Structure 1
Amino acid sequence: MSPVRAEIVVDLGALRANVRRLSDLVGPGVQMMTVVKADGYGHGMLPSAEAAREAGADWLGVATLDEALALREAGDTGRILCWLAVPDEDYAAGIEQGIDLTAYTVAELDEIVRGARRAGRAARVQLKVDTGLSRGGSTEESWPALVEAARAAELAGAVTVTGIWSHFACSDEPDHPENDRQERAYLAALALAESAGLRPEVRHLANSAAAILRPSSRLDLVRCGIASYGVDPAPGLTDHVGLVPAMTVRAQLAVSKQIRAGAGVSYGHTWVADHDTTVGVVPAGYGEGVPRHAGNTAEVWIAGRRRPVRGRICMDQFVVDLDGEHLPTGTEVVLFGAGLDGEPTAQDWAEACGTINYEIVTRIGGRLRHRYVDRHLDADARTAARGVTR
């Protein structure tokens, strides 16, 4: 096997601890959905899903039917919801596997009904209403027709309406007035559905930020994605939960050398040394999902110190300033991690790149290997040391 140039280390113990903390926070009677879409937000869908189930997750959430089917193929037998379909989706395959499908429109519901006929069994369907995100979900004007069609399909034995849900647009800003408006709109849509005879198993509105910051939105179930991986869904507002980032991205120094004052670094010479110094080459670049915007803005952790990225990020590598130190090749480089030892976090990289922490962890990958560790006790001990109790 070739040597490890760079890798993603995922602490499944931290993920389990996060799921348990979130479950403790929302309290008994509220089911937990761990969202594992987009390859588990870059952490690996299947290992993340297994860890979440071990921590008590009642549901798994994914975007696509293919993701849901992959979970079933891997042996997951619990409740799974998917919500993003395309024309000619093979709904029958999902229905046969007992996957909850989402309908936004009457036309989509009709496709699911046809899939149920092919599968020879009723489809589990959740209806999504658009309460203000203007993305997926039925509009307020179309909602009565969708509810009527769903009730008719249920009476015909083609579907069972198992859930009614929506999604916040501004839950990471708890004082934003849109949150109140969306919650009112959701409750009105729910009341209309119930008046038509629908009795969903689960009513859900809260994503990670709302699950933590807006108790009124917890209802029957919360959908926790980014928070399950220990990444702050509302930076600076959720420290009290004690989430532990599960992902560390690390590499080895491939080159370490001295450069003279006046030397330009990387393409375009966007950084020029103003004094003699040493630099190191890190063997990961935008081919691995390292954001190009990190050039001259982000920092990494090497030999107990943060070191600035110098010059542009390249496809396979980038350069860091070692500030005159002569460090041997093979020295560990941490791009970002939990931050418990001083290393940068995904949030630090997000701020350096002008993006959000979701994008940082989800886009990283490419040629990077995933390595899974289990530091459950270590994660709990470190969190306790920071003064956070469960």
Structure 2
Amino acid sequence: MTETAHPRTAPLRAHAEIDLAALRANVRALRAQAPGAALMAVVKSDAYGHGAVPCARAAVAEGATWLGTATPEEALALRAAGLSPSQVRILCWLWTPGGPWREAIEADVDVSVSGLWALEEVRRAARSAGRPARVQLKADTGLGRNGCQPADWPGLVAEALRAEAEGTVRITGLWSHFACADEPGHPSIAAQLTRFRDMVAYAEQQGVQPEVRHIANSPATLTLPESHFDLVRPGIALYGVSPSPEIGTPADFGLRPVMTLSASLALVKHTPGGHGVSYGHHYVTPGETTLGLVPVGYADGIPRHASGAGPVLIGGKWRTVAGRVAMDQFVVDLGGDEPEVGAQAVLFGPGDRGEPTAEDWAQAAGTIAYEIVTRIGTRVPRVYVNEEPDGQDG
């Protein structure tokens, strides 16, 4: 997991500032969007690059009663960090054969099951642990990834109920995931909701008594109240990033981006016109100018696809990556300006101080803002600010 750092006392090559007050305010805003449902803070992939443990603690302090992880290692790390079952439930959903089922059961982690192979491994692990496993059955309602197909659902439900009767399993949840909730009006949304209701109804008719039923991800939490059921699972929205420009900006939903990524200029130099810049000379200076060296590159998670397009705020002005992004650095044309070496280059942040946003970088790289924040690597330290609530944030 990403190293936890505190406000710096010396300049850093680069750092990602994580504003936990913004995260707490986002939790409040998301809970207000779904007042009748519990909230699961999805902290998979190291909290989308923001740091799983600090973000999980902040979300739980603000009322999140569940945490969501992809891998079992992520779930177990949260328990090891002191996020106890008495504080928060944890769901883990991405399993492969031979996974640490027993460890998860002993850590009181809810495990997701999509097929009979997984159910059988859970039963064996539960017998070994000497206690029942908390199991959530996942339905494939149309996404086509993980989850049990409708045709196989009766068999999985029947086996899960047999396992529950023998005392190796407690069925705690029924759940699914949307394919196109970030595309308002897409016909698959209504179709998936109908299928989910039908599959939940079937399971309950057979005797399943789940604690929670859930399908709503970030876009559904924000725009589809009919999908909220017992629990909503915001991920990217928790970190103040819109799931899709089509559904609105973060500000439209009262959200604020949590991460600000910046670096210290490593060099400022004069160059003549006609000077090639970076690999391949895809950028050539149009005239005499100054170049600034920003000491982060694709090894830090800066997308190479944003070469020639990625925006950076330096000295109060937007600049653009000049030429290719390299492994450890990229260059900007400063147009004759001469900021000091060590001056701050802000790659992205909330945007309200003139800096680019993660969405701006997503547009430049031809990707989504999820990828921009999640890919920021571990050699960029996270610096946590506003760790302790001071009255009402926001």
Which of the five TM-score ranges fits, normalised by the shorter chain?
over 0.9
Tell me, yes or no, if the aligned pair for 2:184 and 2:247 is still in contact at 8 Å: no
2:373 corresponding residue in structure 1: 361
Secondary structure in 2 aligned to 1:258?
Answer: strand
Post-superposition offset of 1:276: 1.4
Q: Give structure 1 regions of 4+ aligned residues with deviation exceeding 3 angstroms.
A: 375-381
Residue 254 of structure 2 corresponds to residue 247 of structure 1: no
Residue 89 of structure 2 corresponds to residue 79 of structure 1: yes
The residue type paired with residue 221 of structure 2 is A
Residue 61 of structure 2 corresponds to residue 54 of structure 1: yes
Q: Distance in 1 between matches of 2:137 and 2:285?
A: 58
Q: Distance in 2 between matches of 1:363 and 1:75?
A: 26
Q: 1:339 to 1:379 in 2, by over 3 A?
A: farther
Residue 30 of structure 2 corresponds to residue 18 of structure 1: no
Select which of 196, 200, 213 maps to 1:203: 213
Which TM-score applies when normalising by structure 1? 0.95
1:194 corresponding residue in structure 2: 204
Q: Which runs of 5+ in 2 are unaligned?
A: 1-8
2:330 corresponding residue in structure 1: 318
Secondary structure in 2 aligned to 1:142?
Answer: helix
Post-superposition offset of 1:200: 0.3
Residue 166 of structure 2 corresponds to residue 159 of structure 1: no
Q: Distance in 2 between matches of 1:370 and 1:205?
A: 31
Tell me, yes or no, if the aligned pair for 2:359 and 2:369 is still in contact at 8 Å: yes
Secondary structure in 2 aligned to 1:224?
Answer: coil
The residue type paired with residue 319 of structure 1 is V
Q: Distance in 2 between matches of 1:265 and 1:379?
A: 48
Q: Distance in 1 between matches of 2:332 and 2:198?
A: 55
Post-superposition offset of 1:285: 0.5
Tell me, yes or no, if the aligned pair for 2:39 and 2:233 is still in contact at 8 Å: yes
Describe how 1:39-118 pairs up with structure 2 within 5 A.
39-77=46-84, 78-118=88-128
Q: Distance in 2 between matches of 1:57 and 1:366?
A: 26
Root-mean-square deviation (Å): 1.5
Q: 1:317 to 1:378 in 2, by over 3 A?
A: farther
Select which of 317, 327, 336 maps to 1:305: 317
The residue type paired with residue 76 of structure 1 is L
1:125 corresponding residue in structure 2: 135
1:4 corresponding residue in structure 2: 12
Which TM-score applies when normalising by structure 2? 0.94
2:3 corresponding residue in structure 1: none
- Mean CA deviation greater in 1-10 or 79-88: 1-10
Post-superposition offset of 1:258: 1.2
The residue type paired with residue 53 of structure 1 is V
2:42 corresponding residue in structure 1: 35
Secondary structure in 2 aligned to 1:323?
Answer: coil
Secondary structure in 1 aligned to 2:151?
Answer: coil
Tell me, yes or no, if the aligned pair for 2:184 and 2:246 is still in contact at 8 Å: no
The residue type paired with residue 20 of structure 1 is R
Q: Distance in 2 between matches of 1:345 and 1:3?
A: 23
Post-superposition offset of 1:380: 5.3
Post-superposition offset of 1:280: 0.1
2:4 corresponding residue in structure 1: none
Tell me, yes or no, if the aligned pair for 1:8 and 1:365 is still in contact at 8 Å: no
2:297 corresponding residue in structure 1: 285
Post-superposition offset of 1:240: 2.4
Q: Distance in 2 between matches of 1:326 and 1:34?
A: 44
Tell me, yes or no, if the aligned pair for 1:42 and 1:361 is still in contact at 8 Å: yes
Secondary structure in 2 aligned to 1:60?
Answer: strand
Q: Distance in 2 between matches of 1:69 and 1:175?
A: 38
Residues 22-72 of structure 1 deviation map (CA, whole Å, 9 limit, x = unaligned): 001111x30000000001100011111011111110100000111111000
Residues 115-170 of structure 1 deviation map (CA, whole Å, 9 limit, x = unaligned): 10011001100000001111000011111100000111111111110000000000
2:226 corresponding residue in structure 1: 216
- Mean CA deviation greater in 81-90 or 367-376: 367-376
Residues 289-339 of structure 1 deviation map (CA, whole Å, 9 limit, x = unaligned): 111011101110111111111000011100011111011101001011110
Q: Distance in 2 between matches of 1:18 and 1:197?
A: 37
Secondary structure in 2 aligned to 1:141?
Answer: helix
The residue type paired with residue 40 of structure 2 is M
Q: Distance in 2 between matches of 1:265 and 1:242?
A: 41
